[in-house]
Structure 1
C-alpha cells in the first residue's frame, strides 16, 4: 500500500473525529431546512421589491395596469400618504426620493404596457412602423486568443434574432463577420403579417431602445461564482489541518516515519482535494442538468476548467500554513491570497463577450461552457496553464521545506522563502539557470495580473505602468537565487563567480521566456501588453538585456554586499524599463 494512501486515510479519519454525530446531524438538518425554505420561496415568486411603492387612482383601467406590476401597491381613492396620486391624466408625487423613484418605475410600466399592446396586433406594419435590428459591434483591439482572428473594423457581429421564450428571458445568437442587412423580402413580410405576436418576436428582431442590453452574460457569471465557494471553504480546513500539525507538533510522528515528504504532503492533501472535487461536480451537474452525453461532457469540461483553480488555491493554502507562525498570520495570508486569486479569476470574466482580455481567466471558460457548451483546447491551455505551473511549483517548494527545521521554527517568511530557494539550488538539478526557468510561471502569472488591472486604463499610461512593474517582477525573479547564495554563503562568490551567476540566471530566464512565448504568449504577442511581455521576435538583444541587468544586480552585491540588493534591483529595473520603452516607442508616442 503506498505511503500517501495511508496518510490520506489517517487524515480523513482524524478530520472526521473533529465533528461529533450531533454536529453532523445538525449541519445536515440545517442544509435540508435551508433547501426547503429556498424552494418554498422560489415557488411563491416573492421578490425583494414587492409592493414597495404605493399609488392612489380612481381609474379601474389604470389600477389593472399598475396592479400587474408587483412593485406597486394600489390603494383606495381615499387613501393618503401615497407615493403617487393619479388624478385624471396627471400623476402627482409626494416630493420624497421614494416617490421620484416610483414615478420612474411607473413610467416604465406604461411603456411596457404600450409595447405589449402594440405587439398583440396582427397589423405589424402599422403597430411597428420602425424596425430596429441590433448589431453588437466588436471593440477594435489587437489582443486576441488562440484560434481567433483579428476582425476588421468594418465588420460587425450580427446579433441575429432576439427570441422570447416562455420564461420571458431574451436569448441572442451572434454570427461574426456579417454585415448589417435591413432588407426584408416581400414574401417574408407577407408571412409575418399573417403571424401572431409571439412568432413575430421569434423570427424577426423588433426592439425599442429601452430594451437594448449589452451582450454581457450576467447569469453565467453569477453561476461561475458558485464554484469558488466550496474551494475557499475546503481550503480553510486544509490549511487549518496543517497549521494544527505544526502548533501541536503532531507532525513529528509523520516526519520520523519511513515516508518521504512528498508522500506526506500528497496524503494530507488528497482527501480535501477529493471533497472539493465532489462539491464542484455537484455544482456543475446542478448548473448544466445534463440530459444527454453532450451536456454531460460540458459538465465534465467545467470540472476540468475549475480544477487548476482548485490546485492553485490549495497550493497557496499549503504554503501559507507552512510560512505562518500562528493562526493569526495564517488568517491574514489566506485572506490576502484569496483576494488576489479571486480578483485574477473573476475580474476578467466580467468582460466576457466584451473584451478578449477575459480569456486570461478560467472563469471565462466556465461562462462560455454555460452559454455555448464547448471551448477550444487552445483557450483552455492559455487560461489554465499558468495555474497548473504555479500550483505545482508552489507544492514543490513547500514539499522541500516540509521538514522539522521549518515546520517547528519561528523563522520569518523571507527566511523560509530563501530556504526554499537554497534547497532548490543545492539539489542535483538545481542552479540559478534552472531556478530562473522555474520562476517563469510566477512572472507570467504576475504580468497577466498586471494586464487585468491595467488594460482598461487609457494609453499610454497603462503600457508605461505595465513596463515598469513587468521589469521589476522579471529582475526580482532573475536575481533572487544570486541574492540567496550571497546572503547564505552557500559558496564563495568571487568576481568571476558573480559574473557567471549573472550569465546563467539571465540566460535561463531568456530561455524560459522564449519557451513560454512559443507555447502560450503567441495569442497576445501582437498587442501592446504582449510586446511588453515578449519584446517581439528579437533574440540576441533581449538575451544581452537579461544578462546585463542581472549582471548589475550580481556585481553590485559582490562589491557592496547583499544589504544593497534592493538598490541594485531598482537600478536593473530602471535599465530594463528604458530598453522596453525604447522598443515600443512607436506605440507610446505615435
Structure 2
C-alpha cells in the first residue's frame, strides 16, 4: 500500500462524489443536521416535554393550588367549574374545599399527577428555608461504587451508605410524616353527580406549603431523568429520601444515541459508493490500473473514515464543553475510532456481497441493528462492572465522569472491534477482483468466495513452496493449505469474540438460564468459524479428496482456533470471567488458576475439543452439503456437551 496512490484515489473519491451531490441532497442533509442539533439539548437536559399540556385543570387564581398547577408542565389551566368535569371539558376541578376528577383513566392519571406536583412544589418551597435541617430532618447519602473484580454483587452505598438521621432543635430524631401544616390547604370535599370527589381521609394530596409552614410531606420528588441534570462527575447522591431515585442509565443511552446515529448515515453513503463501482463495471478502470486492491480500498475508505472521525470529535468535544465546561476527551476519541472502522469494515464487506442497491439496503439495516446493539447494550450497564467495558462507549462515559481508565480496560474495549474491522476488510479485499466484483452470484456464493480467497489453489505452489519442492524429496505444497486453513480460522477469532461479548451483554441479566444460553451461542459460533472455510474450499475444489486429508484440515483448523482464542485473555484483565456468564462464554481462553487446572482446562481439554469437532465438520464438508450440515450439527452438540459437563462444573 503506497500512501501517494492511496491519497490520490481518496482525493478522486471526494471530488467525484462532491460533484454528484445536488442541491436537494445538500438541503435535506442540512435540515437533518439542524433538527438533530435542536433535539440534542432537550435530550441531554431530560426535559423532553412529551406530557406538556396533557391534562386540563380548572382552578381559581385565589386557590392555594393555582401555583402548583401553573408550575407543572403537564397541566394546562382551563375555564369552567365542576360541571366542566362532567362535560369532559377538563380532567380536574379544584374548588373551595374540594378536588373533583373525571371518572376515567385520564382523570385518575391527572389526579395522580397532581399528587406528585404538590410534593414537588412543597419540596421546592422547603428548599428555600434558611434552616434546612428543620425542613428536611432526614438526610440520606447514597454512594455508587464499582463492582469488585471478585464477582461481588453491585454494592450501593457500602460502608458509607445508609441513612443519616440528624437531630432537630429539641434533640429528638428528625422524621417527616407529612402530618404537620394544618394551614396546608386541605378541605372537606363533596360529591358531585357523575364525578368523584376525594376526601382528605381518602388520600387527598397535601396542600401546597405556605409561608406559615415549616414541614410537609417530602415524598415524590422526581428529579432529572436518569440524573442527567446533575454533574457527570458526581459519585454520590445526597439529600432527603424523596430526592433519591433508582439509577437509570439515561446518560449512556443518550451518549450511544449521539455517537452511533451519525455512523448509520455514514455507512449508507459508503456502501453506495462501493456498490456503484460494481455497477456497469465502473470499477474496472481502477482494477486494471497499476495500483493494488489495498490502495483502492484504502483510498475509497479514507474520506469516509476521516469524515466520520471529524463528526465524532465534534460531538465528543461538544459533550465535554457542555458537561465539564472545557475541551477534553482524547481517550474517548481513541475509543470511538475502532467503532467507526467496524461500521465501515462491515459495510464494505456487505457491499461486496450485495448484488443490487435493494440488497444493500437490507445489508446496511442488518449492520446498523447488529453493531448498534454491540455498542449500545453494554453501555447501558455503565455501573455494572466489566460487562459495560464490552462497549467502547463506556470509556467515553467514564472519561466524561472524570474516572480513571486503565490501560487494560482500554485494550479490552477497543481491541475486539478493531480486529473485527480488520477481518471484515480482509474478507472484502478477497472479493475485490474482476471475477467476483462483476459476477451476479448469490449471497451464499459470495460468502464462500470470500472465505476461500486466502486458501491456495491445488497444483499452484507459491515461490517459497516451489523452492522447497526443488530442495526436498517430498511435496510440501499441501502444507500451505493447512497453514492457510489454520491461519484463516485464527483470523476469524475476533469476529467470534465480538459475537460472544455481545451475547454476554444481552443475556447476562437473565439469571441462571443465561449460562446455558451463552454455551449454546458459543458452540454454534465457534463450530461455524472452524468449518465454513473448509466447506468453501471443498466447494471450490481447492482440496484433494479423501478422509485423511479432511481430518488433517480439521486438525489444522482446530489448532488455529485453539491458538487464536487466547485473545480471550483480554477479558481477564478487567475481571469479566469473574461473572458466571463471562466465564461460560470465554472459558476457552481464560486461565483457571491452579497449575493442574491450567494444564487440563486451559491447554489439553480445549485443544482436544477443537481438533475433534473441527475434524468431524471437515469430514462432512469433504462429502456433500447435506453431510456437512449433519456433521457441523454433530460437532455443535459435542461442543455443547463438553461445555455443559466441564464448564458448568467449574462455573
Q: TM-score with structure 2 length normalisation?
A: 0.76
Query: C-alpha offsets along residues 135-188 of structure 1, whole Å, 9 cap, x if unaligned?
Result: 5587xxxxx7xxx633756x9443xxxxxxxxxxxxxxxxx764647376999x
Mapped pair 1:468 → 2:525: no
In the alignment, which of 433, 441, 456 is matched to residue 494 of structure 2? 441
1:215/1:354 contact within 8 Å kept:
no
- Within 2, Cα distance between the matches of 1:365 and 1:302? 6
- Within 1, Cα distance between the matches of 2:412 and 2:451? 28
Mapped pair 1:240 → 2:272: yes
Report the structure, 1 or 2, having the larger helix content.
Answer: 1
Shift of 1:557: 4.1
The 1:215/1:36 distance shift into structure 2, 3 A limit, reads: closer
Shift of 1:206: 2.5
The equivalent residue for 2:245 is 213
- Within 2, Cα distance between the matches of 1:132 and 1:504? 61
The equivalent residue for 1:579 is 642
The equivalent residue for 1:91 is 99
1:386/1:445 contact within 8 Å kept:
yes
> 3-state DSSP class of the match of 1:82?
coil
The 1:177/1:314 distance shift into structure 2, 3 A limit, reads: farther
In the alignment, which of 431, 451, 463 is matched to residue 421 of structure 1? 451
The 1:100/1:6 distance shift into structure 2, 3 A limit, reads: same
- Within 1, Cα distance between the matches of 2:647 and 2:38? 59
- Deviating more after overlay: 225-234 vs 532-541: 532-541
Q: Where do 1:96-107 residues align within 5 Å?
A: 96-107=104-115
The equivalent residue for 2:360 is 330
Shift of 1:470: 0.7
Mapped pair 1:549 → 2:549: no
2:348/2:428 contact within 8 Å kept:
yes
The 1:51/1:531 distance shift into structure 2, 3 A limit, reads: closer
Shift of 1:246: 0.7
> 3-state DSSP class of the match of 1:132?
strand
Query: C-alpha offsets along residues 416-471 of structure 1, whole Å, 9 cap, x if unaligned?
Result: 22222222122967521111211111111111121122111121x22112112211
- Within 1, Cα distance between the matches of 2:416 and 2:263? 18
2:490/2:560 contact within 8 Å kept:
yes
In the alignment, which of 334, 341, 344 is matched to residue 304 of structure 1? 334
> 3-state DSSP class of the match of 2:425?
helix
Point out the structure with max Rg over C-alpha.
Answer: 2
Shift of 1:508: 1.2
The 1:350/1:295 distance shift into structure 2, 3 A limit, reads: same
Mapped pair 1:565 → 2:628: yes
- Within 1, Cα distance between the matches of 2:524 and 2:33? 52
Q: Where do 1:105-184 residues align within 5 Å?
A: 105-134=113-142, 149-150=149-150, 156-158=155-157, 178=160, 180=162, 182=164
2:316/2:333 contact within 8 Å kept:
yes
Mapped pair 1:489 → 2:546: no
Mapped pair 1:504 → 2:536: no
Q: TM-score with structure 1 length normalisation?
A: 0.83
Q: Which runs of 5+ in 2 are unaligned?
A: 175-213, 216-229, 463-479, 593-597
- Deviating more after overlay: 249-258 vs 447-456: 447-456
- Within 1, Cα distance between the matches of 2:576 and 2:63? 62
The equivalent residue for 1:516 is 567
- Within 1, Cα distance between the matches of 2:314 and 2:37? 18
- Within 2, Cα distance between the matches of 1:325 and 1:573? 32
> 3-state DSSP class of the match of 2:561?
helix
- Within 2, Cα distance between the matches of 1:129 and 1:183? 7
The 1:73/1:557 distance shift into structure 2, 3 A limit, reads: closer
> 3-state DSSP class of the match of 1:534?
coil
